Structure 1
Amino acid sequence: MSAPRARRRRAAATAAGVLALALTAAACSGTAEGDNDGDNSSSTPEAAYELTATTPAPSGDIDSFTWSLYAEPFTLAFPYAYDYPPNTVLSNMCESLLRLNPDLSLSPGLAEKYENPDPTTWVYTIRSGVTFHDGTPLTADDVVASLSFHLNPAFGSYWTQIFANVKSIEKTGDNQVTVKLKQPDSMFNQYMAITPGTVESAKTLATMGADYGNASNGVNCTGPYAFESWTPGDNITLKKYADYWDPELQAKADEVKFVFLSDPSTRVNAWTSGEVDGGWQVPANAYTQLENGGPGKLYYGLNTATAAEIVNKLDGPLGDPKVRQALLMAIDREGVVQAAEQGIGEVATSQITASTWGGLSADEVTANQADLPTYDYDPVAAKKLAAEAGVDGQQITIATTPAFQAADIIATAVADAAKTIGLDPKIETVSPDKYGLLFGDPKARAKYDLFMTYWYNSLADPMDYFGALRTGIFANYGGWSNPEFDAAAAKVIATPLDDPSRLDSLRTMDEITMDELPWIPIYSSPASVWMGDKISGVSPSINYLYYPWAATIGAK
């Protein structure tokens, strides 16, 4: 049997369904108790955990604090910032034309104003009084050089697809840059709030060349922190930039040291001993320990990430959608949420999280998913479906990593499901420092049929996720292709954000991906952050990958 194909919904979207760039955090279900210490949190009596909008304001400045990373970045060059470790560091040093806020709304950044005089033109007025960390002033020339970096195929930027519709990037005034598009693109300006909109010194890019972003040179940006040092295998240290332009985000700590701790237990021990002051992506098996004992506090926040298995080989045993459907039906995803996340999360009913649908209420998101294919846990039906598709002992290889305690649990559950439907799975462990390469290097991932991701949407727009699955796109790792999906994607890109028909095309893409399952969605869970008793002030939101979160942390 095949999982039912959802009928296409063509009802007109209401005005309330327009993708406004705003989002309100709401409480969710789970098993851990929420907290209520007077900070800005949302909760309901039934909620077993809560999403906290912000932690208590710091009492003052602090000399320094330490922060853990689960892996060492392989570079700090912004064009290749496509994973948690480099982005966590870079977000405090490098800034974009727009700013992604903790609620995932957008606001002016290095561009104090942006205008859209016609459907294919964006004009950015560059903020005056901003300097790079070497003291040189930010100019329109720097913006042109930084954005144009992604257009040069010789550099191999991971973000090239964002500039596919760009015709020209030119300085059109002393403090003005104009981007001309080949056709309307509803995503381009939104992406100016994250890595594609990052601005680096033109002189630095030209001078450092291939050495830009390495351990010796670092970066030269405009953020509240400047690059101080990088000791390979140990730490990256940032220092406060005294001449930072935004008084509301002046760094409260003189120094931040990022230490590389790949083992989850080592990270937790470093937090509880006070050796390290905090870290994102808390190992779920330590939730109870950290909630019940100090020194410090565990917070859950707004997230856009889904734990999923990326299908990397569509020319192998998983090439038939029926086999992928059978695999998902054979995974006990409720059990995985309990084992991998201590119940702090929800089984994925879509490829994307509810928080990705910016501007929609919870009821509207639920209505969006009403016609999606569903994959309840049913091993018997899954085995029958796989047999119909010709599964008969074929081998598949699943990559996992010790960086996350949950990763091995997910890999084991997926392998068990693969056995159930008649496949012969093999799990291979990849070190944390090399696991990130799977997302950028085709050779590194070539032998794996599946590899796990906590894939985060960078924007509160479903197209940020769906855009990665278009034919020929960099992040479409398995080379999946569907003409109906591509046609809907083209409509979404060409349609203004405030046009209700855009929402209908996004629904279509959601339905197609849940039917064909180019990626196997497992569950979603909140962002998590631990802070010791010494510090406070951060907003527990996935926006930390693009926002200078460390500048908000000071003495508790």
Structure 2
Amino acid sequence: MLDFKSRKPKKMFRRMSALGSVFVLAVPLVLISLPASAATVKNLNWGLAYGPRTLFAPTNYSDVGNEVMSLIQGQILTTNPDGSIVPSVASSWKKVSETEYAYTIKKGIKFSDGSLLTIADVVYSLKMHLDPTVASQEAALLSNVQSITSSGDVMTVKLKTADSMWKYLPATLVGFVWKKAHVEANLANYGTPKVLPIGSGPYKVKEYTPDSRLILVRNKFYTGPKTQFDQITFRVIPDAQTLQLAMIGGQIDGTFSVPSASFLQWKSVFSVTPVSNLVFRGLTLDMTQAPFDDIHVRRALYYATNSSAIVTGLTPGLGRPSTTINDPNIFKGVLDAATIKAGYSSIATYPFSIEKAKAELALSSVPNGFETTMNVPADSATIGKISQVLVQDFAKIGVTLKLNSMPGGPRFQVILDHAPNLGIQIIGNKPDGPDPTQMAFLYFHSSQAAVNGNNSSNYRNPKVDALIEKAQQAKDVKVGAKLVLEAQTLAAQDIPIIPILWGDSAIAVKDSWSAIAPGAFFDTSLWVNLIKTN
């Protein structure tokens, strides 16, 4: 799913079961639909560390974007707090075969302008991600789609090959349903303050200033699960201390933007609920560009990366040093603990050692060191601090790391544009569903070393590709999971990435409130009803 998703989304196997060919009928949204008696507070003020760049999924693949758009847009399927997938705009769905899925679309749903939502809107909402003129940031997620067609009220998606990830995608931002005519007429400015989106979710946009605030009010045409707030005001507060003071002063009621470095402090003051996010943070190194094409350079930088100190100093209570792209928790419920442990124990790692880093660099094509520049997202304080630590430690071995601060959206677009010489990139991402194949595919498969691809290492290994493809096509989720473990181990031998941490996030609300702990993929669900005001 997504770069620097401080929240996605985004998927643990234990929370979902393999889907057969039987229709999954509409069921109540457990803990999502709120009884009217609980709605004692009418307005919610919510803090954001940064505002959504746009309110249109193709141009904003981010956690904050998901959290806001999930309240505005209807979704083909959605996710319950327990991680289960349930129908939403679709009344039912079924897996026809390993490469075909059918979705029956509800009748009578209306957009916030009063117009009927049609199956043409649903088909368009998926197809547009594959349209080059749209240039969707989610295009890679649909790269295995062969066709999207409709007959009557049924939409059929056919895949090129079996794909373990597909069944989850309609419950992610890919599944948001947009009004076809409105998007086509305003594509260049859609989802910006110039052209506010029209959706079929519980709220509509009243006011949108990207760097300041966003106000949502009820959509009077919405007939889905009840929500408790009449108005939601998102306030953008980039400074962590100011955000905390706003909580203390009552200017905001809660936030997802709990600073990782201050998690324990926030926990002592507010009602804070940790969220298992499965987020990976680390570095990618362009293996087609000197000096990163030299494994001695890559190994030297790995040795010079002090993951343990970064976790202890910057993410206490919310992070763990990482060794590969997938958090091992994504395998729980599918594989036993011993198998997971063995899979991770076999991964090659290079614990922090300046002496070993210097020795490795001495064997490289640049024994006296070198200078390079890394783009850093200006809207991520945590990544900014991690980058400063890297600057200091890399300097100890003769590597000068310069930081180029830029907005998160354009920074991510640099990776997607995939121009030559991507150099060193710092990334933060999480899976969009409970399938470990996705992250392995995005960062280790050679097809992603291209325009719209996430593989900024430009890593290409046919043996790794084959393992990932077998995992995607595996009918048995255990077999697929074991293949991903094998792919991670094999890729680690080439050092295409330097892992830093696996991180969680947190929901903070004022002390008199509480929040239900959500699953890892809450950000595209009706998350407002996780909040309990009394």
Q: Scaled by the length of structure 2, what TM-score is found?
A: 0.86
Counterpart residue number, 1:140: 119
2:198 maps to 1:220: yes
Q: Give the C-alpha shift of residue 419 in structure 1.
A: 2.4
Distance, in Å, in 2 between the alignment partners of 1:546 and 1:381 is 44
Counterpart residue number, 2:413: 440
Q: Give the C-alpha shift of residue 412 in structure 1.
A: 2.4
Counterpart residue number, 1:22: 15
Give SS of 2:522's match.
Answer: helix
2:357 maps to 1:382: yes
- Contact 1:264-1:404 at 8 Å conserved across structures: no
Residues 453 and 274 of structure 1, relative CA distance in 2, 3 Å threshold:
farther
1:492 is matched with which residue: 471, 485, 491?
A: 471
Counterpart residue number, 1:160: 139
Q: Give the C-alpha shift of residue 127 in structure 1.
A: 2.5
Q: Give the C-alpha shift of residue 135 in structure 1.
A: 2.3
Counterpart residue number, 2:236: 260
1:449-507 C-alpha deviation (Å, 9 max, x unpaired): 334333121111111211212224222224222222222222222322x2543233212
- Contact 1:97-1:108 at 8 Å conserved across structures: yes
Percent of counterpart pairs with the same letter? 24
Residues 366 and 100 of structure 1, relative CA distance in 2, 3 Å threshold:
farther
For 2:389, give the aligned amino acid. Answer: A
For 2:176, give the aligned amino acid. Answer: T
1:515 is matched with which residue: 493, 496, 505?
A: 493
Q: Give the C-alpha shift of residue 210 in structure 1.
A: 2.2
- Contact 1:69-1:261 at 8 Å conserved across structures: yes
Residues 345 and 23 of structure 1, relative CA distance in 2, 3 Å threshold:
farther
- Contact 1:538-1:550 at 8 Å conserved across structures: no
Counterpart residue number, 1:528: 506
Distance, in Å, in 2 between the alignment partners of 1:368 and 1:127 is 44
1:415-448 C-alpha deviation (Å, 9 max, x unpaired): 2332233322223333xxx123211245999787
Give SS of 2:493's match.
Answer: helix
Q: Give the C-alpha shift of residue 268 in structure 1.
A: 1.8
Distance, in Å, in 1 between the alignment partners of 2:296 and 2:16 is 36
Distance, in Å, in 1 between the alignment partners of 2:527 and 2:155 is 27
Q: Scaled by the length of structure 1, what TM-score is found?
A: 0.82
Distance, in Å, in 2 between the alignment partners of 1:231 and 1:373 is 47
Q: Give the C-alpha shift of residue 243 in structure 1.
A: 3.9
Q: Give the C-alpha shift of residue 540 in structure 1.
A: 4.4
Distance, in Å, in 1 between the alignment partners of 2:385 and 2:207 is 36
Distance, in Å, in 2 between the alignment partners of 1:227 and 1:108 is 24
- How many equivalent pairs are there? 500
Residues 444 and 126 of structure 1, relative CA distance in 2, 3 Å threshold:
closer
For 1:272, give the aligned amino acid. Answer: I
Distance, in Å, in 2 between the alignment partners of 1:232 and 1:371 is 45
Residues 183 and 230 of structure 1, relative CA distance in 2, 3 Å threshold:
same
Residues 153 and 440 of structure 1, relative CA distance in 2, 3 Å threshold:
same
1:130-177 C-alpha deviation (Å, 9 max, x unpaired): 22222223322211111111121111111222332322211112x211
Counterpart residue number, 2:7: none
Give SS of 1:68's match.
Answer: strand
More off after superposition, 416-425 vs 113-122: 416-425
2:309 maps to 1:335: yes
Distance, in Å, in 2 between the alignment partners of 1:344 and 1:163 is 31
Give SS of 2:348's match.
Answer: coil
Q: Counterparts in 2 of 1:155-234, with a 5 A limit? A: 155-173=134-152, 175-234=153-212
Residues 321 and 67 of structure 1, relative CA distance in 2, 3 Å threshold:
farther
Counterpart residue number, 1:236: 214
Q: Give the C-alpha shift of residue 282 in structure 1.
A: 0.9
Distance, in Å, in 2 between the alignment partners of 1:270 and 1:540 is 24
- Contact 1:79-1:157 at 8 Å conserved across structures: yes
1:338-389 C-alpha deviation (Å, 9 max, x unpaired): 1111354211132211232263354442232121112222222222122212
Distance, in Å, in 2 between the alignment partners of 1:148 and 1:165 is 12
RMSD (CA atoms): 2.8
2:401 maps to 1:425: yes
Q: Give the C-alpha shift of residue 397 in structure 1.
A: 1.7
1:126 is matched with which residue: 102, 105, 128?
A: 105
- Contact 1:310-1:453 at 8 Å conserved across structures: yes
1:162-217 C-alpha deviation (Å, 9 max, x unpaired): 332322211112x2111122332222222121122221122322333322211132
Give SS of 1:112's match.
Answer: strand
Residues 420 and 515 of structure 1, relative CA distance in 2, 3 Å threshold:
farther
More off after superposition, 453-462 vs 106-115: 106-115
1:505 is matched with which residue: 436, 458, 483?
A: 483
Q: Point out where structure 1 has 5 or more consecutive residues left out of the alignment.
A: 1-18, 25-52
Distance, in Å, in 2 between the alignment partners of 1:203 and 1:235 is 27
Counterpart residue number, 1:287: 263
Residues 116 and 344 of structure 1, relative CA distance in 2, 3 Å threshold:
closer
For 2:350, give the aligned amino acid. Answer: Y
For 1:422, give the aligned amino acid. Answer: G
For 2:291, give the aligned amino acid. Answer: P
Give SS of 1:302's match.
Answer: strand
Distance, in Å, in 1 between the alignment partners of 2:473 and 2:133 is 28
Distance, in Å, in 1 between the alignment partners of 2:275 and 2:158 is 37
Residues 362 and 478 of structure 1, relative CA distance in 2, 3 Å threshold:
same
Give SS of 1:107's match.
Answer: strand
More off after superposition, 546-555 vs 90-99: 546-555
- Contact 1:307-1:524 at 8 Å conserved across structures: yes
2:245 is matched with which residue: 239, 256, 269?
A: 269
- Contact 1:492-1:502 at 8 Å conserved across structures: yes
Q: Point out where structure 2 has 5 or more consecutive residues left out of the alignment.
A: 1-11, 18-30
- Contact 1:262-1:402 at 8 Å conserved across structures: no
Residues 481 and 276 of structure 1, relative CA distance in 2, 3 Å threshold:
same
Q: Give the C-alpha shift of residue 333 in structure 1.
A: 1.6
2:271 maps to 1:278: no
Residues 211 and 284 of structure 1, relative CA distance in 2, 3 Å threshold:
closer
1:97 is matched with which residue: 60, 76, 82?
A: 76
2:66 maps to 1:87: yes
- Contact 2:436-2:481 at 8 Å conserved across structures: no
- Contact 1:337-1:346 at 8 Å conserved across structures: yes
Give SS of 1:425's match.
Answer: strand
Q: Give the C-alpha shift of residue 276 in structure 1.
A: 1.5
Distance, in Å, in 1 between the alignment partners of 2:484 and 2:170 is 21
More off after superposition, 185-194 vs 445-454: 445-454
- Contact 2:280-2:428 at 8 Å conserved across structures: yes
Residues 140 and 485 of structure 1, relative CA distance in 2, 3 Å threshold:
same
Distance, in Å, in 2 between the alignment partners of 1:195 and 1:135 is 23
Q: Counterparts in 2 of 1:300-339, with a 5 A limit? A: 300-311=274-285, 314-339=288-313
2:130 is matched with which residue: 151, 159, 178?
A: 151
